Structure 1
Amino acid sequence: MEIQLSMLILEVRDLATSVAFYRDLGLDVPDPVPGRPVVIHRMGSGVSLLLTTSFAATYDPAWTRPAGGYQQLLEFYVGEDSVVDQRWADLVAAGHPSRMPPTQTTGPYAAMVDDPDGNVVLLTSDEAARVDTDDA
């Protein structure tokens, strides 16, 4: 069996704030269930995005929240260059810090913003990141 990435788990400080950000990004993230510190959104690619406020702290006694910088980029293929422009503008207008305005890099056309916990979200029109290539 081929090993596959099935879920990306983000430890967040405030579940409602993170849900709002990823909804602003364009994901159909469900409402949290009262009393549960987690929400899961399964994307069309089959990969799930899980937002939680307590998994690592509960099960890894050595876990600490990173104090600065970032260790990963979450790349979201959003479509055409104009969609990258619009999503970036909407997120920045909503108060999310921009790390890079829409730019033609040496690779894809891309922009970067921070989510509420400082995770860097890369918005691209890079066809290599597209998963629904059968939909023509």
Structure 2
Amino acid sequence: MSPRFDAIGLVVSDMAASVAFYRRLGFTIPDGAEREPHVEIELPGGLRLLLDTEDTVRSFRPQWRAPSGEGRAALALRCEGPDEVDSVYGELVGAGYHGELKPWDAFWGQRYAVVLDPDGNGVDLFAPLEAG
């Protein structure tokens, strides 16, 4: 037997806010999901992003508490190019989301930025820098 990687799960404090954020990033999420306690989002390549409300998690783990301090996980989204990193970052920050790290040309060869989702999870935006 060999387990296979299938999904990434995030615990969210406000499902509607999280659904709105991930829809802005282009994730296809069914209508009405913002009112559900658990949402499964199909990702390219067969993986899934799972969103569960804090109450849902507490229903089977009553002692669960939301973590405090900096996040330990991030989702990384590849953009078509450096200009898209800038435009997506600007659109999200303009919509009121927290820009954690403004776009910059990273020494490892990517245009790179970080925006936080409504629960403080990092969403890295990146694209390879063009050769030249």
TM tier, smaller: 0.7 to 0.9
TM-score of the superposed pair, with normalisation by structure 2 = 0.85
Separation (CA, whole Å) in 1 of partners of 2:49 and 2:29: 9
Superposition misfits of 4+ residues, deviation over 3 angstroms:
1-4, 32-36
Instruction: Out of 47-56 and 8-17, give the one that drifted further.
Output: 47-56
Structure that is richer in strand per residue: 2
Q: Mapping of 1:1-136 within 5 angstroms?
A: 3-32=3-32, 36-53=36-53, 54-107=55-108, 108-126=110-128
Residue identity over aligned pairs, in percent, reads 34
| Aligned residue identity for 1:17 | A
Shift of 1:58: 2.0
Deviations 1:86-108 (A, max 9, x none): 11000000000111111111222
TM-score of the superposed pair, with normalisation by structure 1 = 0.83
Cα RMSD (Å) of the superposition? 2.1
| Aligned residue identity for 1:58 | S
What is the count of residue pairs matched by the alignment? 127
- Gaps of at least 5 residues in structure 1 are 128-136
- Gaps of at least 5 residues in structure 2 are none
Separation (CA, whole Å) in 2 of partners of 1:34 and 1:94: 18
